[in-house]
Structures are given as C-alpha cells and as structure tokens.
Structure 1
C-alpha cells in the first residue's frame, strides 16, 4: 500500500451528484488576485531573470511593480467589466501598500488569507511555528477588515502534513491549496471538515508565464479555451468551478493586461449563462446544499 494523506476518498467524476449554482448556472467562475509582498535581499520570490547575488534588485523591483502599478491597472479592468475578485492577501501588504488593500475593500472584494509574505514557505516550519504564522496572518486581516478570512491559500501552495488541521482549528472554512478536482469536495481534518475549492495550477499566470514562458496572448487563449470547454462539459449536469489565478506583477504589465482584457471580456459577456462569484461565494452556496450533495459530506 502506498502512503496516503487520508484527507478525502476517490470520487469518480461520472458518479457525482448534479446540482446548480445560483441562477441555475452549472459553471461558477472566480478570479483569485494574489497581492504579495517580498523581503528585500532575502527569501523566496518569482524571477523574471535568473537571480544574481543578493540584493537581487532586478527581480525584487519587478515584483514590486505589481503593487505600485500593475494591481491598480488590474483593478481598473475589473471595475470596467464589473467583475468581483477574491484577494489572496499576504498580511505584510497592510504595512507595505495599505491603500491598495483599502481599494479592494471598497470594491467589496473578498479578502482571503495568503500567509504573511511569499518570501517564506510554511511547509518547512515546526507545527507550533506554522500555527503562529496562520494566527498572525489571520489576526491582521481580522483587525483591518473587521472579520476573519474564511479561506486560505498557502504561499507557494506549500503545506506541511498538518496544514489542513491547523486551518480548520484556526476557524478556516475552505482551502485553495488542493487542486485535485473541478468541483468542491470536503476534506477531513482533526478539527472537522474543510472545503477544498478548486484553485488553478494550469490557468495560473505563475506556472504559465514564469515557468513555461507562455506569451501574453497564449495565456489569454488558455483562459478562453478553458472557459469555453467547461461550458460544453457542464452540459452533463455536473457543475464545475473555474478559477483564474492572477498576479499583478505579471498580468499588470500593459501588453499582458491588453490580452487579459480580451479573455475576461469573453467571460463577462456570458454572465447570464455562468455564475461569476468569489471563492467565498462558492462556499456559501455549498453550505446551502442538501446533505450528501458534495463528495466527502458525511455530516
């Protein structure tokens, strides 16, 4: 027998229950906008070019462009198209760019936990230190937003063997870390159940642009193709969740934003046929469904 995580069972796609999202839609779409801050001269960070000796000014400044410029341009595009977002927030952003977080708060965007900074991974920490990291990030969001976040995405999607347990114990209701499905599933933790909402590792600008070196038009085409194929697939009656993962230092670059506008306009034009929401909106609807609808629901 191979080692297993024990968090969820195998649930074949053709045997899933049929249900709908609000308005009778079968496809839910949300945008996950990552607002991240990085330590200068140390720690982790995506790279535009191979890193040089620290301080690596080229890559640090490239990432900081997202908070200073790119995120504001992306927000303007979301306003133009009338699209909500789930903001995946490093709590360090409250000190680094408080006006940016405030602007998303004013839009009514959902604020979800995304650690303290993407300069670190929680997966390498002892349990007590990981618990403290989650608590510190959560407390900062509660203090500034007036309510605790309900969802979590780990920096670098890094988990220890107890991360789901710590999230449930800290009061989190959903995680975006597990990209194992096209619809929400319930996970087991020692603190109760935790909803895994699909978060994309394919339709995600980091692996697409940074890792695979896809061009701006190629990434936009990926979004459109994913969207249109899912619209065909949900005709089988089984609903899906489509996420689009965005980082302002990437898609906030003018030539990439132009292509992103093309892709998101295609989605916005179909808002009558799909449910455009937030990850928290998906959670709320799942909680309203009859018992036994979602895989792993053994309450």
Structure 2
C-alpha cells in the first residue's frame, strides 16, 4: 500500500472558528528544546568540518553550552515575564541533567516527549519495537517529572507512519512534528491532533542562516502582528521555538528578553503551553 498523509486537507478559510480563553486572539507558547546529545555520534552542529570526528569537541561543546549555561539565562527571562515553558524533553535528560528537570518541576512546566536523545532520529523501527521504545520514553519522563506527557515531538521532528496511533495507545493526544498550520487540527487517528510548531520562527534555523539578535526580535514582533490580524474571526497559535545552546548565548539573550516582554505586553494574547492549547481545542472544537 502507498503510505498516505496522517491528516486530511483542510483550508484554514473553511473551518469552524476557534475561540481562546478570555477572548484572546493569539495563543502563544514557548517550545523550549531540552536535549541530550551523544558524544560519539554526529548531531546538530555549528561547524560541519569536524562533525564526523569522535570526539567532536567543537560541536559537542557548542551543544553542551545549553544545559550548562544557556538554559539558566533563558529560565530567568521566562520567570521575569511569567511564561511557563513547553519543554521538548529528551528522556535521557532525566539521567544526565536532572537539575534542569527539577527546575522545570518547580515552575510547573509542561513536558512533551521528544525521544530519548537528539542524536538519533525516530525512524526505522517496526511497530512492536516502536511501541516498546515510546513506552520507555514516556514512562521515563513521567517518573522524572511527575507528569505524564500529553504531546510528542520527535528528534528532528521525526515520526514513523505508526507513531500517532502508538502515542494514542499510550494516552498522548497531540504531536508537534507537522509544521503546516497556524491552528490545531485533527489527525486521522481518533483523539490525536496536530498543534502548531515552527521551523521558521526557530532560533536554530534563524541564527544558523546568519540573522542577528535585532532581526530575531523584529521577526517575533512581525509574527505576532500578522497572526493577530489573521485572528479577527478565529484564533491562531504562535509557537516560539528555542534551543538553549543557541538563544542562550550572551550576545543574543537581551533580544530574547525583549521579545518575551513584547509578547507578554499584548492585550489579546494567551500566554500558555502546548498542553493547554491541545486540551482547549479538544474540549471545544466543533466536528
């Protein structure tokens, strides 16, 4: 059989209106990637010239700046502006960086299952193998955080064709991998939805293309302004995707802080989490 997309085509102009709590027009969440990388495998890199070396001190050290330093700057800004993170959590973080998990538990962050490590894509598994793998990831995160994940985003936004159905078996209700919309929408698996995430408004992509801190701030402002205009008759979702080893660099930090301040000051914003967006949509959407 030829595989098909796990969702149906639905133009945003032909849907029932979405109403957010309190009459907000744009639901905004911060997708904070808290990840673990293996020292002996190629992974996200800033300099491809050494990516195949073992160990790759240049790139591994760049990534490791996130849990050691960068995330703590980001946490300060989130706290300052009263924003709870939606954390895309590799389950291996629970073993390697438990202090970050503890900080998130104290702040009531939402936890989204993000595979075991970002050094290995979520692909190439048979159905039974994937079921065992997903169960281990979800159970590890639930034990470490005291909160069973409701959502999933694969390492590098990877899935198999079985992933949504297997996640539903485990009690999850949404995925972030399909970055093709400004609103949640149902998948073909009953009870499973897609919630918007962004590979465009994403620090790893933007700064990797050479954009500057001031340009990042302007993009955040522009994104909100356009989504606010679009939301006159139906609510929209704005996802801000962050990686602590990128946005947590000292010379970028003040621009993140200014961006969060701008979002928090908007009168028609719902500063929330991806969990709450999914729950509200599932509870209130019309067939």
Cα deviation for residue 77 of structure 1 reads: 0.6
Q: Which residue of 1 aligns with 2:202?
A: 204
How many residues matched?
A: 284
- Over 6 Å off, 4+ runs: none
CA distance, structure 1, for counterparts of residue 44 and residue 214 of structure 2? 21
CA distance, structure 1, for counterparts of residue 115 and residue 223 of structure 2? 28
- 1:15 to 2:14 alignment: yes
Partner of 1:34, secondary structure, is strand
CA distance, structure 1, for counterparts of residue 141 and residue 285 of structure 2? 31
Counterpart of 2:273 (choices 273, 278, 281) is 278
1:127-206 mapped onto 2 (5 Å cutoff):
127-189=127-189, 192-206=190-204
CA distance, structure 1, for counterparts of residue 285 and residue 182 of structure 2? 20
Partner of 1:48, secondary structure, is coil
Q: Which residue of 2 aligns with 1:233?
A: 230
1:80-130 alpha-carbon deviations (Å, 9 max, x no partner): 111111011011111111011100110111111111100101112333332
Cα deviation for residue 4 of structure 1 reads: 5.8
Alpha carbons of structure 1 residues 69 and 290: separation in structure 2 relative to 1, 3 Å: closer
Cα deviation for residue 6 of structure 1 reads: 4.3
1:9-57 alpha-carbon deviations (Å, 9 max, x no partner): 2212211212310001121000000000111122x42111124222101
Partner of 1:122, secondary structure, is coil
CA distance, structure 1, for counterparts of residue 18 and residue 57 of structure 2? 50
Q: Is the contact between residue 122 and residue 133 of structure 1 (CA under 8 Å) also seen in structure 2?
A: no
Partner of 2:199, secondary structure, is coil
CA distance, structure 1, for counterparts of residue 181 and residue 3 of structure 2? 17
1:185-242 alpha-carbon deviations (Å, 9 max, x no partner): 01012xx3311000111101122222x232222222211110111111112x111111
CA distance, structure 2, for counterparts of residue 204 and residue 97 of structure 1? 23
CA distance, structure 1, for counterparts of residue 165 and residue 241 of structure 2? 25
1:241-280 mapped onto 2 (5 Å cutoff):
241-270=237-266, 272-280=267-275
Q: Is the contact between residue 176 and residue 199 of structure 1 (CA under 8 Å) also seen in structure 2?
A: yes
More deviation, 31-40/158-167 = 158-167
CA distance, structure 2, for counterparts of residue 217 and residue 290 of structure 1? 38
Q: Is the contact between residue 34 and residue 246 of structure 1 (CA under 8 Å) also seen in structure 2?
A: yes
Partner of 2:156, secondary structure, is helix
CA distance, structure 2, for counterparts of residue 78 and residue 281 of structure 1? 17
More deviation, 275-284/139-148 = 139-148
Q: Which residue of 2 aligns with 1:37?
A: 36
The TM-score normalised by the length of structure 1 is 0.91
Structure 2: gaps of 5 or more residues = none
CA distance, structure 1, for counterparts of residue 121 and residue 131 of structure 2? 13
